[in-house]
Structure 1
Amino acid sequence: MTIDFTLTGAQQRLQRNAREFAVEILQPLVKTADEEPDTQKAFQILKGAYKECYKLGFAMGFLPKQYGGGGVSNLDLQIVAEEITAVDPGFATVLLVNGLALMPVAWFASEAQKQKWLGEATSDPRGEYIAGWTVSEAAGAPGGTANFDHPGPHPTGVGLVARHDKGRGEYVLNGAKLWPCNAGGWDLKGANVNVCIVRTNPDEGGTTGLSAIIVPRGAPGVTYKQPISKLGHRLCQNNSIVFEDCRVPEENAFAIGDGDLVISKAFTWSGPVAAIAAVGVARSAYEYVLKWAKTYTAGGDAPILHHQAVGYMMAEVAMKIEACRAFSWKAAHYLDQYDSEGHAVGAMAKVFCGETLFNAVFRTMQAMGVNALDRTHPLEKFLREAAVFPLYDAGNIGMQMRKIWGVMLDEDFDPRAIADSRPIKFKKSMEGVGTRVSEGNTTPARAVGGARTKKDATPRTPRAS
């Protein structure tokens, strides 16, 4: 039987190294950084820990070996991510975003671009190299990055325009981004690179008009604002960025006209990592409250874990953690089999685990009672961190559920493929679902290739009477 959840010796060493880093190096910094009101200073507090991560291979280990990376599998990445997120998921997000930015280069860029940019990312002698994934923009009318694959022209969806100045061999960027992680770098003068999704053809829809472009640190015409002060994940940096006639060499562009596929695959790759991050936070909440419940009597004659109500709640949390870890590993294993082409299962794991474990963390607070509100205990932080999972990394409602829906709508979709670990080919025709509605705003319509076809405009499910 090939199914085996036992970690190999190498995986056990990886887990031990990640746990030692998280507990011995990261954990002593977390409380001070989390409570620091200056969001950029909070990010900078972690620089020493980040450099240690770079040295250990956690910062760039997922990149292919031929370009200097560790070639770490998605499943092995789960092991590292759980240990780090159990201490702080915001810091883990800094590492994850390196992958969101640079894995698209590995998947979509030319060989020359891979050699240059991935080689640079994996060979920094100071261990400070950081990459920004610069996709998200402020909500607007008709803007909104969640609808990146909308068939409408600019400014619908992605609004950052990159005009090709062929005479000078450059792209000229104008527009703004909001929420990108790592983008401002350690000094708010920019990450080493920002991998940006841009509108290279403003007259076309999101499935044909988008591309990716690498904006290096020091590019003129870019302004990085003070990071956003957030409810949770306060240790990662999320910036507002303004591009004003920012000129970038044309050889920095890749996936021309396929920026939509870059977005879809990147947020597929990150889905199982976001799922295991929820496991890490819920695990910490569970272990803390379990220890509390075994000693705290609340004035009674026995610790509160001896009460059935508390015992049942903690058992429920334990079950959910184990179920979500298994789902996270399943999704990661699927991605390992098919070069991260697992758009439905990656999104499913992210959505299910994030939402399931947000509720699980709150259950631990109920078991602890009013004492959970006392900030001398870490439960309020666990809840703040857990609240982020359904909202970040493409957003469950914003993109991830819609991606699952789009895959399911395909005429060739096999509902047993994921269970059987068989491939599901992702197509542009799976995008655009739900980005527009038919007359009366009652029936979902799909957008294919930048516009609805007659076939696609026809509802596939009966309308309610």
Structure 2
Amino acid sequence: MAIDFTLTDDQRNLQTTARNFAQNALAPVTDQIDQEPDPLRAFQLAKPAYAEACNEGIAFSMLPTEFGGGGLSNVDFVIAAEEIQAVDPGFGTTVLVNGLGLMPVWYYGTEEQKQRFISTATSDQSGEFIVGYAASEPPGTPGGTANFDAPAAGGAGMQVTATLDGDDYVLNGRKYWPCNVGGWDNEGANLSLVIVRTDPSAGGTSGLSAIMIERGTPGITYESISTSAQRGAPNCEIVFDNARVPASNLIEGTKGNGDLVINRNFAWSGPVAGIGAVAIARSAYEDALQWAKTYTGGGPAPIINYQYPGYVLGDIATKIEAARYFCWKTAHYLDQHGYHGEMLGAMCKVHCTEMLFDCVYKCMQVVGVNSLDTKNRFHRYLREASLLPLYDAGNFGMQRRRVHGVMSDETFNPRAFMDDEPVEFTKGMEGIDTIPGPRQEVPAQRAAEPFVAR
């Protein structure tokens, strides 16, 4: 039978490896990370675990073996990611961002760029090599990341400019929220992929590109952002002040196609964020179930024997199972279709992350007022649940707009995902909902030759 949810022996071994890593390397420090008030110090507390992730091949497991990566399929990566994020979703984000920074080089870079950037990362033996991805920007005029693909000239949300000057691009502007970019000391990640405006006269569907920034580049400063959840994932504000970057660092196929980089990255990360929601819901559910099996509330038997706790926990278990398989389906679709799944990835991220908050709060209702005792960790699950729908491209705006753009296109087949058919994502599907009035027509084109998954 073609559809089989049984994990292979290799996948079970991968799951066990990831679970053991999470329990042995992450679990002992995750509460300390969450409670540390200094965001940079909180991230640094995860450094020994990150070194172990490098040693075990986890940190760059999503990259192709031909450039030294682990070569995991998207399905395999999602299986491993659930185990890690069930213990510390922030650490899962750190690993995810390594991929967001380097996967576009694999998709769109020259062979020289792939060797220079991907192979350098995967061959490093220090246990510290980390990669950032910088798209998000602060609100302003026009400002704000969410309308990055607005087709109107100068109307896109990306305002960091990259102006060609001889053999260099000169970068100016600010980024806000990017992860990993500050590195372990806020002096810069080893590499960071940055979405920049290379054509100020064009809109977001043609004026954006992606360029690689190397650690030590003058004219760049980083400042930590303190967040309420995922304390182990380092977010920063970046300020570019006439920072000069070699023109050869502009990823070849992304020139004028930074919009496609963003959409494709968020397609890839959709099931990873989705499985993060599954992981957190799973942890909350297991804690609530254990509570219900041991807590009597002064009655004659544990509360699991009563209808309300039993039905509520059963509903939660059902939602977790359904969401897990949606993530597997989405990851499999990406594997089957050259790492393209812009609409399905968004659907998966929206559905799973919005399921999470309901599951966590219902677990808290089962536990009752004792869920507010910080020793029981539900406060953390609730904070993580509030974060996931808002980060990695907010569900309102960037994620739902991508679904809207594909669905409204006259070429869209509503049975495509059911039939496992490719859904090509074009520039003509972008820009919807970003400006008032009728939708502007944008010529459909691809950034490069269709990418074939290895």
TM-score under structure 2 normalisation? 0.96
- Tell me how far apart the structure 2 counterparts of residues 61 and 90 of structure 1 sit (CA, whole Å): 17
TM-superposed CA distance for 1:127, in Å, is 1.7
Question: What are the ranges of 5 or more consecutive residues in structure 2 without an aligned counterpart?
Answer: 445-454
Contact 1:39 1:234 in 2 (8 A): yes
Contact 1:81 1:92 in 2 (8 A): yes
Residue aligning to 2:122? 122
Residue aligning to 1:150? 150
TM-superposed CA distance for 1:185, in Å, is 0.2
Residue aligning to 2:439? 446
User: What is the correspondence of 1:34-433 to structure 2 with a 5 Å cutoff?
Assistant: 34-154=34-154, 156-165=156-165, 168-225=166-223, 227-254=224-251, 255-433=254-432
Post-superposition Cα deviations, 1:280-305, rounded to whole Å, max 9, x if no partner, equal: 00000000110110010000001011
- Tell me how far apart the structure 1 counterparts of residues 174 and 335 of structure 2 sit (CA, whole Å): 35
TM-superposed CA distance for 1:156, in Å, is 3.7
- Tell me how far apart the structure 2 counterparts of residues 355 and 329 of structure 1 sit (CA, whole Å): 17
Q: Taking structure 1 as reference, are residues 186 and 102 closer, same or farther at Cα in structure 2, changes over 3 Å only?
A: same
Residue aligning to 1:29? 29
- Tell me how far apart the structure 2 counterparts of residues 449 and 248 of structure 1 sit (CA, whole Å): 30
- Tell me how far apart the structure 2 counterparts of residues 371 and 278 of structure 1 sit (CA, whole Å): 23
TM-superposed CA distance for 1:446, in Å, is 2.6
- Tell me how far apart the structure 1 counterparts of residues 7 and 428 of structure 2 sit (CA, whole Å): 39
Residue aligning to 2:452? none
TM-superposed CA distance for 1:154, in Å, is 3.2
Post-superposition Cα deviations, 1:180-205, rounded to whole Å, max 9, x if no partner, equal: 00000001100001100000000100
Contact 1:431 1:446 in 2 (8 A): no
Amino acid in structure 1 at the alignment position of 2:51: K
- Tell me how far apart the structure 2 counterparts of residues 155 and 341 of structure 1 sit (CA, whole Å): 26
Post-superposition Cα deviations, 1:256-310, rounded to whole Å, max 9, x if no partner, equal: 1011000010010000000000000000000011011001000000101111011
Post-superposition Cα deviations, 1:405-427, rounded to whole Å, max 9, x if no partner, equal: 10101111000000111101111
- Tell me how far apart the structure 2 counterparts of residues 196 and 446 of structure 1 sit (CA, whole Å): 28
Contact 1:62 1:71 in 2 (8 A): yes
Amino acid in structure 1 at the alignment position of 2:269: S
- Tell me how far apart the structure 2 counterparts of residues 307 and 354 of structure 1 sit (CA, whole Å): 29
TM-superposed CA distance for 1:155, in Å, is 6.1
Contact 1:428 1:448 in 2 (8 A): no
Contact 1:155 1:202 in 2 (8 A): no
- Tell me how far apart the structure 1 counterparts of residues 156 and 8 of structure 2 sit (CA, whole Å): 48
- Tell me how far apart the structure 1 counterparts of residues 155 and 327 of structure 2 sit (CA, whole Å): 36
TM-superposed CA distance for 1:448, in Å, is 3.9
Q: CA RMSD in A?
A: 1.1
SS in 2 for 1:197: strand
Contact 2:130 2:189 in 1 (8 A): yes
Post-superposition Cα deviations, 1:30-73, rounded to whole Å, max 9, x if no partner, equal: 11111000110000000010011111111101111111111100
Post-superposition Cα deviations, 1:365-414, rounded to whole Å, max 9, x if no partner, equal: 01111110110111110111111110000110120100011010111100
Contact 1:205 1:449 in 2 (8 A): no
Residue aligning to 1:9? 9
SS in 1 for 2:225: coil
TM-superposed CA distance for 1:119, in Å, is 0.5
- Tell me how far apart the structure 2 counterparts of residues 449 and 210 of structure 1 sit (CA, whole Å): 15
Residue aligning to 2:451? none
Amino acid in structure 1 at the alignment position of 2:241: E
TM-superposed CA distance for 1:324, in Å, is 0.2
Amino acid in structure 2 at the alignment position of 1:180: P
- Tell me how far apart the structure 2 counterparts of residues 448 and 90 of structure 1 sit (CA, whole Å): 39
TM-superposed CA distance for 1:141, in Å, is 2.4
TM-score under structure 1 normalisation? 0.94
Q: Taking structure 1 as reference, are residues 157 and 447 closer, same or farther at Cα in structure 2, changes over 3 Å only?
A: farther
Contact 1:207 1:450 in 2 (8 A): no
- Tell me how far apart the structure 1 counterparts of residues 153 and 129 of structure 2 sit (CA, whole Å): 36
TM-superposed CA distance for 1:450, in Å, is 8.9
- Tell me how far apart the structure 2 counterparts of residues 446 and 106 of structure 1 sit (CA, whole Å): 33
- Tell me how far apart the structure 2 counterparts of residues 153 and 236 of structure 1 sit (CA, whole Å): 34
Amino acid in structure 2 at the alignment position of 1:96: L
Contact 2:432 2:439 in 1 (8 A): yes
Moved more, 49-58 or 313-322: 49-58
Contact 2:101 2:133 in 1 (8 A): yes
Contact 1:208 1:450 in 2 (8 A): no
Question: What are the ranges of 5 or more consecutive residues in structure 1 without an aligned counterpart?
Answer: 439-444, 452-465
Q: Taking structure 1 as reference, are residues 412 and 155 closer, same or farther at Cα in structure 2, changes over 3 Å only?
A: closer
TM-superposed CA distance for 1:110, in Å, is 1.1
Contact 1:286 1:364 in 2 (8 A): yes
Contact 1:204 1:450 in 2 (8 A): no
SS in 2 for 1:387: helix
Residue aligning to 2:450? none
Post-superposition Cα deviations, 1:222-271, rounded to whole Å, max 9, x if no partner, equal: 0011x111111111100001000000000000211011000010010000
